[in-house]
């Protein structure tokens, strides 16, 4: 699968594009099962598991233990199944259409937004959140369940990525404080399970709480084009990027800087 010319145009003009049906049902089922096992601590202990803060603070014990977990991360580093998903040609070919050819894998997380308890994600841009400057990185946000306004789908402000990192003179936090960000022009990103959102590192985005009885799981991968790394980026890329120097690993996992 590759992006159509209008999707590539949308990505550059709006900061995002949606690809329907990127992940076929069989693979999606495997991803969902592996995410649940990761959330329950049944995979490698290197995978980071984060409990939903309100559930933790109030010591709530949901009937379904999966509804305790907000996020898992570092799944690619610690699990061969998630590594194989990162090499899926359908994901890589869309990424190449956006970023160019010389790609490396650059990071992962899975936001699991539990039923009833899943909290909102404040508005932010990923560039200052993760790396402090805009690296040649793009994100694919895979909807493992359908994503709707009721279960806390992402919201984005089309086109605002073109302003780069937004200046915030009164704060050094990477996310916007309540009421600080003007989200008048925000649009909800409603997706079916298996659809994917590709988005720019400077696109402001956030998500609402999950008030529905169903989880809203997403698998999020980031890739970088190493041909577009400039000298001022090298230390950041070394800190956040490369997974392995092994010559037998898939080329996208080799050292980030060739
Ligand atoms: O999935 C969400 O609710 C938030 C995800 C997010 O903020 C991100 O991918 O940077």
Average pLDDT over residues 100-115: 95
For 79, what's the count of Cα atoms within 13 Å in the CB-facing half-sphere?
Answer: 24
Structural domain boundaries of the chain?
5-253
- Best residue among 138, 154, 186, 209 to mutate for probing ligand 1's pocket (most ligand atoms within 8 Å of CB) is 154
pLDDT given at position 242: 66
pLDDT given at position 239: 85
Q: Report d(CA 125, CA 156) in Å as an integer.
A: 10
Q: Which residues contact 31 (CB under 8 A, 6 or more apart)?
A: 23, 85, 142, 144, 219
- Place 207 in a pLDDT band, splitting at 50, 70 and 90: very high
Å from CA of 28 to ligand 1 middle: 19
Does the structure show a pLDDT above 70 at 256?
no
pLDDT top residue among 195 and 231: 195
Average pLDDT over residues 7-33: 98
Does the structure show a pLDDT above 80 at 246?
no
Q: Topology of 5-253 in CATH?
A: Jelly Rolls (2.60.120)
Does the structure show a pLDDT above 80 at 258?
no
- b/e code 203-229 from CB counts within 10 Å (16+ = b): bbbbbbbbebebbbbbbbbbbbbbeeb
End-to-end CA distance of the chain: 27
Q: Report d(CA 36, CA 217) in Å as an integer.
A: 10
Q: Report d(CA 131, CA 119) in Å as an integer.
A: 24
pLDDT tens digits, one per residue of 63-75: 899 999 999 999 9
pLDDT tens digits, one per residue of 109-165: 999 999 998 999 999 999 988 878 889 999 999 999 999 999 999 999 999 999 999
Average pLDDT over residues 226-253: 84
Q: Report d(CA 113, CA 52) in Å as an integer.
A: 8
Q: Which residues contact 195 (CB under 8 A, 6 or more apart)?
A: 18, 19, 20, 21, 22, 142, 143
- Best residue among 188, 202, 218, 221 to mutate for probing ligand 1's pocket (most ligand atoms within 8 Å of CB) is 218
Mean pLDDT of the chain: 93
């Amino acid at each position: 699968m590759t992006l159509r010319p209008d999707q590539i145009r949308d990505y550059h003009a709006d900061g995002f594009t949606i690809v329907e049906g990127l992940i076929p049902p069989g693979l999606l089922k495997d991803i969902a099962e592996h995410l649940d096992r990761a959330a329950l601590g049944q995979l490698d202990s290197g995978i980071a598991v984060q409990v939903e803060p309100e559930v933790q603070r109030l010591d709530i014990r949901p009937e379904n233990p999966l509804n305790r977990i907000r996020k898992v991360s570092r799944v690619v580093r610690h699990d061969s199944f998630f590594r194989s998903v990162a090499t899926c040609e359908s994901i890589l070919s869309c990424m190449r259409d956006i970023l160019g050819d010389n790609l490396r894998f650059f990071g992962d997380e899975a936001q699991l937004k539990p039923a009833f308890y899943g909290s909102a994600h404040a508005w932010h841009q990923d560039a200052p959140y993760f790396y402090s400057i805009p690296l040649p990185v793009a994100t694919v946000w895979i909807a493992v369940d359908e994503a709707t306004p009721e279960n806390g789908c992402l919201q984005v402000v089309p086109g605002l990525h073109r302003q780069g990192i937004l200046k915030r003179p009164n704060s050094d936090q990477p996310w916007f404080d309540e009421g600080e960000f003007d989200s008048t022009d925000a649009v909800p990103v409603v997706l079916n399970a298996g659809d994917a959102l590709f988005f720019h590192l400077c696109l402001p985005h956030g998500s609402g709480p999950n008030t529905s009885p169903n989880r809203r799981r997403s698998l999020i991968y980031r890739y970088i084009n190493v041909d577009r790394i400039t000298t001022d980026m090298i230390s950041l890329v070394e800190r956040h990027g490369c997974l392995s120097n092994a010559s037998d690993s898939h080329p996208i996992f080799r050292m980030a800087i060739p």
